[in-house]
Amino acid sequence: MPATAAAATETPNQVPHIRLSDGNSIPQLGMGVWEVDPKVTARVVRDGIDAGFRLIDTAEGYDNEAGVGEAIRSCGLPRGELFITSKLRNGAHDRDAALKSFDATMAALGLEQLDMFLIHWPVPAQDKYVEAWRTLVELQQQGRVKSIGVSNFNAEHLERIIGETGVTPVVDQIEMHPYFQQADKLEMLRHKGIAVECYSPLGHGEVLKDKVVEGIGKAHGKSVAQVVIRWHLQMGHIAIPRSVHAERLRENFDVFDFTLSDDEMRQMAGLDKGEAGRTGSNPATANFTF
């Protein structure tokens, strides 16, 4: 059962799209650029675009938005064929700081309008994420960004921003992979009509060593990474795997010519380790700024 408000529409050799609650649509498979060296970001993103990716996910805190912008300008594709996401840095939740940071993002990317902008983390100890969300709503109302959402938000953070503004994020970008499946959160997000976007979809590489997934891959003539990405797609997730290697980017995109069976999906579901599978920070206690 998809974890999003609307099921993806998939056709052979074409990235399916998820219809967001604001009426916009987002490619279900994209590429992330977290920890990609700014010096090689433009090349990596161009390689990804050449492989077929059209969703590019960056952030102010990655310090590589300029490289993404260079790739956008030099890739040869019309702007409308790309879906570009960035995220507000944790230290800029005040309205004035958020507006200034957004201006810097747009300058670095070289864009007039952003496809999606997210709050990167709630930073609960700072207690300014509602102000940050109001600012994103303002930017959307001005037409500077098409869709707005959040990243790393738990139920209590979502309840608060929705309750105080009346505006529901279209996306919550969260850590999600076979070892950390967050079933309770998926149900909550589905109920609210919020699409699930997965970072670290391969589990920081730990899942790539899994023998169960390896066996499923052999049955399809596919790599472990391809099986995991295919699992995300069939779960209804938006997935943004990362690689700096052109060959791996092509491999990550080559997931539309096979389907996991119901039994294989059950095997994947059985890999969940719960909280022990988390590899990143917990949003409830993550209070770092950047």
Residue 225 Rama label (left phi>0; alpha psi -120 to 50; beta): alpha
Distance CA 235, CA 275 (A): 20
Distance CA 212, CA 81 (A): 37
Distance CA 40, CA 42 (A): 6
3-state class (DSSP) for residue 13: coil
Question: Residue 62 catalytic?
Answer: yes
* β-bridge pairing 195-199 and 171-175: parallel
Amino acid, res. 193: G
3-state class (DSSP) for residue 178: coil
Q: Which burial class, exposed, middle or buried, applies to 275 when counting CB atoms under 10 A from its CB (0-12, 13-18, 19+)?
A: exposed
Distance CA 100, CA 283 (A): 25
Q: Which of 62, 129, 179, 199 is catalytic?
A: 62
DSSP characters for 196-249? EEEESTTGGGTGGG-HHHHHHHHHHT--HHHHHHHHHHHHT-EE----S-HHHH
Catalytic residues: 62
